[in-house]
Structures are given as structure tokens and as C-alpha cells.
Amino acid sequence: MNVLVTGGAGYIGSILTTMLLEKGYKVKCLDRFFFGEEPLREISSNSNLELIKDDIRWFDPRILKDVDAVLDLASLSNDPSGELDPSKTFDINYLGRVRVAKLSKEHGVKRYVLASTCSVYGFQEDILNEGSPTNPLTTYAKSNVLAEKDVLSLADDKFTVTAMRQATVYGLSPRMRFDLAINGMILGVYNNKKIPVMRDGKQWRPFVHVKDTSRAFITVLESSTEKVNRQIFNVGANEQNFQILPLAEMVKEAIDVPVEIEWYGSVDKRSYRVDFSKIRQTLGFIPDHTPRDEARAVYEALENGKAADTIKTKTVEWYKHLLDAQKLMQEVIIKDTVL
């Protein structure tokens, strides 16, 4: 099977692309490579991998020739990144991904899977399943709600569409991120023996390991059409719904070094607990990893140099750097033109 992975060099995409190749799939990776091609360095020589540097908003649809399935992960990731430029976030995360889905259907692709987020639930007191009302509070979440609606409407007997609402992801990746809750806590312990916790610590959030959510995409890819077409799946495990302060205490115990809590920010407006029964009962998907196990693994990776804290591991900071560099280049061009 030939698979196109958009955002295939990203935090999740680099893991997913590797897993697909290990299972014998032929993979086209479409990515802007804002963070470079390094995350795919170890698999770049694989003859079943084709790297395509392009944008979902304007790529040549001919790359969809002979593609059997599209796993659409390309987006400006997470809530803070989405607020840097809301109009661009809508352009990429909503319109861009709908374009991918429509072109996929037009060019005979059989399956399309959208990477969505549990962030669409926003702030709610109940335990939420796929049929619960959404309450998107950020541009990132609103874009995902719109994308889900439009791509699912394209589904028919010849074009299978599935939306995956992922819990907050954690764990090691070739394109490492330390701007995610659990990973950020571990980095705080490593840097200054403090665990950063966003006030007031009572907010709920579901979590899933990066390898587990990647495996969930492959599970959907390999499941029968009857089980996944026109479906939304929450991706995670009921046991991995945590309040942030108790989660920080768990990380502290797992790493087992003296640390203290470092509060930051105003009270988080997002809080939600999610029911993951559907993906377990329908597809038999059960995560293999837990935050307690991974906390020690990430900390040890920092200690032995297999993971490093750089500007590229903080998505918002890197995007700001790219935007500043772009503005500087434009100023240079203008000055050169005037001179």
C-alpha cells in the first residue's frame, strides 16, 4: 500500500513514518520541513520513502497518483502556536486540510485520516465521548472542528474518512518537543529541578504517548471500512486522564530527584476529561505506554544527550524565530531595492 503522510517530519509524523516503513508500506512524506529534515535522517535512505518539500495549500495534486491512503497530520500545532497568526492557522489547519481531502477523493485515494485533537472539547465538566458537544476555545481547536465537519462530509462508499481526536501527546521523538505538558515538566526537572505547572493545577487533560497515537493511525489504516468510515475516534486511554498537579507529582516520583513545583501563567481555561472506550471496543486499541514510564526515559535521554533542549523543541519560539527572520529578509530586500 502507498501512503501519503502530510507533516511526516513532525513530532508525531516522524514516528508514524518510521513505523509505516517498518511495516513495509511505501511512504510519501509531504512537509514544509520548517524544523529541517533531521528527524527523518535515520530513514532517509529507505527506498520506500519519498520526501516532498511542499505545502498542503498548494502542492501539485499529481503527487496523489497511486496513493492508496492519506494520513493528514500537517498543521500549525497546538493552541499557543495557533494564536500567533489566527488567519494563517485557519488557512492551513482548516482550508489546507480540506483541500487535501477533496483532492484525495478526486484522485482516487481510498482512505483519508485527519489528525484532530481532544482540544476541541475546551472546558467541560462531564467525561466526554465522540458524541459530546465540542467547545473549542482557541483558533487551533476551532480549525479542527471545522476541518472534521468538512472532511467527514466527503465520505462515501468509495472514500473512507476518519477523524482522530488525539489526547495531549508526550514522549521521545526525532522531532522532539518540550512545549507539551509532560515533556515540559521533565525538562524543568532536568534544567533547574523545578516542575512547571500552569495554574491552578486542577484542570483535567488526557494524554497519549507519541508511539501509541502513531500506532492508532496505523490501526485505523488497517481496519475494515465498516469500522472506521465516517467515524471520529478519541485517541488515548481512560486511565491517562490526569489533573495537572497530580500529574506533576507523578513525574516527580518517577524521576526520583528532589524538585519543587514552579507555578506559571493564569488559570487555564481548558479542562476536559475524555472517554476512550470507542477506539478500544471498536478497534481493540490499547496504549502501551504510561507517563510514569516515559518520564524516566525522557529524563535519561536528556542526561545522555540523546535529547536536547533547543529553540526548535519549543514550537512557538521556533515559529517566532522564522517569522522574525522572514521580516528581516523582507527589510533587506526593500533596502537593497531602494539603494
- Structure confidence by residue, pLDDT tens digits, 182-234: 999 999 999 999 999 999 999 999 999 999 999 999 999 999 999 999 999 99
Contacts of 245 (CB under 8 A, 6+ apart): 197, 201, 202, 261
- pLDDT greater than 50 at residue 128: yes
Contacts of 7 (CB under 8 A, 6+ apart): 13, 30, 31, 72, 73, 74, 75, 115
Determine, yes or no, domain membership for 278. yes
Determine, yes or no, domain membership for 141. yes
> How far is 71 from 218, CA to CA, in rounded Å?
9
- pLDDT greater than 80 at residue 110: yes
First to last CA, the chain: 55
Determine, yes or no, domain membership for 318. no
Average pLDDT over residues 160-165: 98
Confidence band (pLDDT; 50, 70, 90) for 81? Answer: confident
Q: What is the pLDDT of residue 330?
A: 56
Contacts of 1 (CB under 8 A, 6+ apart): 25, 26, 68, 69, 221
Q: What is the pLDDT of residues 232-283, one digit of tens each?
A: 999 999 999 999 999 999 999 999 999 999 999 999 888 999 999 999 999 9
Contacts of 279 (CB under 8 A, 6+ apart): 216, 233, 234, 235, 285
- pLDDT greater than 70 at residue 333: no
Determine, yes or no, domain membership for 300. no
Q: What is the pLDDT of residue 126?
A: 94
Average pLDDT over residues 12-17: 98
Determine, yes or no, domain membership for 155. yes
Parent domain of 130: 2-174+206-239+272-287
- pLDDT greater than 90 at residue 324: no
User: DSSP assignment, residue 44?
Assistant: T
> How far is 227 from 285, CA to CA, in rounded Å?
13
Q: What is the pLDDT of residue 298?
A: 97
> How far is 44 from 183, CA to CA, in rounded Å?
26
Domain count, the chain: 1
Confidence band (pLDDT; 50, 70, 90) for 327? Answer: low
Determine, yes or no, domain membership for 130. yes
Confidence band (pLDDT; 50, 70, 90) for 79? Answer: confident
Q: What is the pLDDT of residues 254-264, one digit of tens each?
A: 999 999 999 99
Determine, yes or no, domain membership for 221. yes
Determine, yes or no, domain membership for 295. no
The CATH number for 141's domain is 3.40.50.720
Cβ neighbours around 132 below 10 Å, total: 16
> How far is 241 from 132, CA to CA, in rounded Å?
17
